[in-house]
Amino acid sequence: MAIQLATIKYARLNARQKENFNFLKVSAVLADYGFMTMRVSDDWQGADFIAQHVDGGTFLKVQLKSRLAFEEKYKGKDLYVAFFHEADWYLYPHDELLERVLAETGVGETVSWKRGSYSFPKLSQRMRKLLEQYRICGSTGGVE
């Protein structure tokens, strides 16, 4: 008997289901770049997952977010942050991009950042330009 598949509505998922969904989606995109992903428990060293490149020597500790975000607690941990916005995935080195954002915007003077975190619910043209080099796109295909 054939299985009847139906796509889901992301908005109807609970928070944990959304995190699992996003982990699987970004993992598929990273596979196109030669990375295999491994989920870790309880934010090991700040990471939700590890991405290991097929070269055997490149490992990325990745924190998965729902939007562009920075946190004081992630500084100095050599973390990358992945998030989805509109039709694109972004993967950026937390500290490197944070340094630029603090230097080029007023984020460092906000109450949120002074409390230890800042996130962008929407991306301005300026932020899109800063993020462009970190945009990653996956293929829609599978096995060749």
In a domain, 144, yes or no: no
Q: What is the tally of structural domains in the chain?
A: 1
User: Could you say which DSSP state residue 118 is in?
Assistant: E
Residue 115 sits in a domain whose CATH number is: 3.40.1350
Does some domain include residue 66?
A: yes
Q: Is the residue at 121 inside a domain?
A: yes
Answer whether 0.85 is exceeded by the pTM. Answer: yes
Residues 30 and 24: their CA atoms lie apart, in Å, by: 10
Task: Say if residue 92 is exposed, middle or buried (CB neighbours under 10 Å; 0-12, 13-18, 19+).
Answer: buried
Among candidates 95, 93, 97, 90, which has minimal Cα distance to 67?
90
Residue type, position 84, single letter? F
Q: Are 50 and 62 in contact (CB under 8 A)?
A: yes
- Helix and strand numbers, DSSP H then E, in the chain: 4, 8
Residue 17 lies in a domain: yes
Locus of tokens 């992301």: 10
Report if residue 96 sits inside a domain. yes
What's the pLDDT at 87? Answer: 85
DSSP at 21? H
**Closest of 40, 44, 120 to residue 77, by C-alpha:** 44
18, part of any domain? yes
- Domain residue limits at 50: 11-135
Compute the chain's Rg from CA coordinates.
16
pLDDT (tens place) for every residue of the chain, 144 residues total: 899 999 999 999 999 999 999 999 999 999 999 999 999 987 788 899 999 999 999 999 999 999 999 999 999 999 999 999 988 899 999 999 999 999 999 999 999 999 999 999 999 999 999 999 999 986 555 555
Residue 1 lies in a domain: no
Q: Is the residue at 131 inside a domain?
A: yes
The separation between CA 134 and the C-alpha centre of its own chain, rounded to angstroms, equals: 10
- What tokens were used for 72? 């004081």
